[in-house]
Structure 1
Amino acid sequence: MSRHDASRPDAVRPDAVRPYTRAVLALGSNLGERNDTLCAAVAELVDRPDVRLRDVSPVVQTRPVGGPSGQPEFLNMVMEIETSLDPYGLLEHCQAVENRHLRTRDVRWGARTLDVDIITFGGLSSSDEKLTLPHPRAAERAFVLYPWALMDPQATLADEPVAALAAQAPDFPGIEHFADDDSCESGATG
């Protein structure tokens, strides 16, 4: 019997199409042309047939959380996608987009041109060292939760309303809507 015998129910054909899974990604930037970087990253993240854009949030401006003091303020947003990539394939894709924007990882939570985090991947839970899902600190970060709630007021994370989690997050005070936040919204299919 061949390795790819289609008569076997567990057979994996090389040309088999994986089902699409919804995922939420968080994007942030506090170096360079922040808004342009975020908008370019949205386009690059969905510029392949195995990733489709569902929605994007408005852009918000936030103070840095953690990391070295004296960093510039961040622009943050979230986006919802559908992808046929597996979680690790999506992680590699997100990191490739970060690298195209000259992302460096010299200092944990340091200033960066672009940060792309996978917040959720369907209903998958994983405590893998390379990729923990849902994102382990997302439920405490208003810079993720608030734009997510603006994009999807009914969203939940670990069965908790994202909007309520945002309001309780320590970094919620001081979040501002970014004045030029509509340029990343083109292409959302909702």
Structure 2
Amino acid sequence: MAKNGAKIAILDLNPVAAEAAAQQIRDLGATAIGVACNVLQRESLEAAAAQVLAELGPCDLLLNGAGGNHPKGTTGQEFLDVDRLDDPELTSFFDLDPAGVEFVFNLNFLGTLLPTQVFARQMLGRSGCSIVNVSSMSAFCPLTKIPAYSAAKAAVSNFTQWLAVHFSKAGIRVNALAPGFFLTQQNHKIID
């Protein structure tokens, strides 16, 4: 996008990471800013949206890429082993921590909903605006051991379909990407 003249705002919970990514884009000769933002806090999103509007103009394309998993929303085994239900070394389905599941759901689903609520307002009344949400193939074919993540990404996929219809008469196109499974530093323990 930068090579094609887009002005880009990188929003990240970590302002150093946001600025580092923006600098890589600027090194290509493009316009980019790094903005500290918490996608789970409306006030943070509103401040980020105001900064983006002031420095780059209104948002034309929103890419909702916040997401992830948490160990407390993950089981210790692929299959329930009834003989090991009381094993303190394993987390069974029955041991999943509701706070861990809530964290995963909030990060993935609310981390898509809230930025959309804030940034889509800048798109109203303008043509050619789009929202792209990042789902996962795990939404359609759940990986074992990560029920919270799979359910949250399924919610993102469903929300994307709903939002596409909801915004259709407002001229905002909404789609989702569902990346396949690939090894990252974050998920290597689950996949390996």
TM-score interval for Structure 1 and Structure 2 normalised by the shorter chain: under 0.3
Largest Rg, 1 or 2: 2
Structure with bigger RCO (C-alpha 8 Å, 6+ apart) = 1
TM-score norm. by structure 2 comes to 0.25
Structure with more of its chain in strand, by fraction: 1
